[in-house]
Structure 1
Amino acid sequence: MENQGVKKCVILTGMSGAGKSTALKVLEDQGMFAIDNIPPALLS
């Protein structure tokens, strides 16, 4: 059974130097759309 039309959201958090940018690049390499430093107001 396929999940057609289902969108997944991953919120990646962490302290400075924890590897967030590297993790975002890996997600992009897997075909996901990634945004770095999105303003919290846009998430609500």
Structure 2
Amino acid sequence: MQIRLPGSRILIFGVKHFFCGNVVFYIVFINFERVAAMTVT
């Protein structure tokens, strides 16, 4: 039973890290698009 705990913990950590990374990338991408639109205009 205890052997499954570290695996699920690593899995949850990986999902959280992946999700946070995607959110940061998404925000940076949106800001980059806004700056690009402002520069083009």
Name the structure where helix makes up a greater proportion of residues: 2
If asked which structure has higher relative contact order (CA below 8 Å, sep 6+), I would say 1
User: Greater CA radius of gyration, 1 or 2?
Assistant: 2
The TM-score, its normalising length taken from structure 2, stands at: 0.34
